[in-house]
Amino acid sequence: MKILVTGGAGFIGSHYVRTLLQDQYAGWEGAHVTVVDKLTYAGNRESLPANDPRLTFVQGDILDGDLLRQLLPGHDAVVHFAAESHVDRSLESAAEFVRTNVLGTQSLLEAVLASGVERVVHVSTDEVYGSIDEGSWTETWPLAPNSPYAASKAASDLVARSYWRTHGIDLSITRCSNNYGPYQHPEKLIPLFVTNLLAGLTVPLYGEGANVREWLHVDDHCRAIDLVLNKGQAGEVYNVGGGNERTNRAITERLLELTGRDWTSVRRVPDRKAHDLRYSLDETKIAEQLGYAPSVSFEQGLADTVDWYRKNTDWWQHSKAIAADRA
Ligand code: NAD
Ligand code: TDX
């Protein structure tokens, strides 16, 4: 078995690849993995095993159709993680988001079509639905993205859907809530706050800190992707939620406790533009149809994540330095 993973040097993609290479996904034991990753500021080769004989790492852009057509033949499936993923960066400059997330997805699917790969999972996000004050989104909710990041992901979902409908590619889409866990780039809320607090710095809380996100451990997200890959239906969308809704203030409070700091370490800064108030997914479909249930408790998962950052300063200092160099 052979699987090609785009964006496999990023946070979620690398977790998926490491877990697959540890033979933790039934049916994929012994599989060979090809990672295609451009190694933008967000990609880190050190998030993947250095010398695993079952891993082939290719530094490349998903917009490079020739490269993809060369690599894809012989693979049984593609899991597509590659994206520009940080909302704040998309507010400053959106072109790269449209390029990678929209055109990149189209380029990848064109190459999939040409090479006859049989199965694709397109990894998307809850942010495509916009913001919801009460209740939870089902998969049939209208798309109403608010940031250029979310808009580019929504567009990529529609491109993906069209390649299923038009060309019959066996493709499913996942829409997951906010992930946390090890190897997440220290630009996102939890790793930014943890690494700053561990380094004795302050942390920037946007606005009132009243915005609500639904948190899921990256391991649960990747297990859901594996389920969808194996059992998901073509042309279908699957929400993947965590059920752990927290305000940013509540997350900050817990991170202060876990790092032994207090509210004097928190800076109140102006709010993010068009800041989505609340995300909440209804995950009945994946639970009932594919048997998915998250397994990592938020309290334990968050404490373990803080421990991981405490013990892996080399990894995140490297990432912070790369981000600063290329920003
Ligand atoms: P990330 O930013 O950590 O990783 C993205 C990876 O894609 C990096 O390794 C980067 O080098 C690579 N990449 C970027 N542009 C590329 C290109 N043109 N060609 C090839 N590789 C390229 O992102 P992440 O948090 O791991 O997210 C992975 C996917 O999951 C994204 O599609 C994102 O939209 C989605 N998602 C993320 C979350 C979350 O909370 N992080 C939640 C739901 C969905
Ligand atoms: O410094 C900060 N201060 C702050 O208050 C940062 C970076 C964030 N925040 C707030 C903004 C959000 O309400 O914390 C919340 C989480 O922010 P991010 O970590 O940037 O995540 P979010 O914008 O919710 O998007 C994430 O979840 C969905 C991922 O980055 C996306 O890739 C994914 O699709």
Residue 152 lies in a domain: yes
Q: What CATH number does residue 48 fall under?
A: 3.40.50.720
| Structural domain includes residue 190 | no
> Would the CA dihedral through 70, 110, 94, 134 be positive or negative?
negative
pLDDT value at position 323?
57
- Assess if residue 80 is contained within a domain: yes
Q: C-alpha angle with apex 43: 42 to 46, nearest 5 degrees?
A: 130
Number of domains in the chain: 1
State yes or no: pLDDT of 326 exceeds 60: no
Is 207 domain-assigned? no
Mutate-to-test residue for ligand 1 from 15, 81, 96, highest number of ligand atoms within 8 A of CB: 81
Mean pLDDT value of segment 183-211: 97
Judge whether 228 lies within some domain. Answer: yes
The type of residue at 254 is: R
- Entry pTM: 0.98
116 CB under 6 A from ligand 2? no
Q: Please report the pLDDT score of residue 318 as a whole number.
A: 77
Q: How far is CA 238 from CA 170, 178, 286, 324, in A?
A: 14, 15, 6, 36
Of all atoms in ligand 2, which is nearest to the CA of residue 124?
Answer: 34
Q: Is 125 in the pocket of ligand 2 (CB under 6 A)?
A: yes
Dump pLDDT digits (tens) for 105-162. Answer: 999 999 999 999 999 999 999 999 999 999 999 999 999 999 999 999 999 999 999 9
Q: Does residue 169 belong to any structural domain of this protein?
A: yes
Please state, in angstroms and rounded to a whole number, the distance separating the CA atoms of residues 47 and 68.
22
Expressed in angstroms, the distance from the first to the final Cα of the chain is 38
Domain of residue 152 covers 2-180+217-243+278-296
Q: Whose C-alpha lies nearest to ligand 1, atom 12?
A: 7
Residue 261 Cα, ligand 1 centroid: separation in angstroms? Answer: 31
Residue nearest to ligand 2 atom 31, measured at CA: 85
Instruction: Give per-residue pLDDT as tens, 215-241.
Output: 999 999 999 999 999 999 999 999 999
* Ligand 1 proximity of 103 Cβ (cutoff 6 Å): no
The C-alpha atoms of residue 271 and residue 263 are separated, in whole angstroms, by: 18
Is 312 part of any domain? no
Evaluate: CB of 179 within 6 angstroms of ligand 2.
Answer: no
Catalytic residue, chosen from 126, 157, 187, 226, is: 126
> How many other C-beta atoms can be found within 10 angstroms of the C-beta atom of residue 288?
9
Count Cβ neighbours within 10 Å for each residue of 69-89 and write b for 16 or more, e otherwise: eebbeebebbbbbbbbbbbeb
Q: Is 149 a catalytic residue?
A: yes
Residue 67 lies in a domain: yes
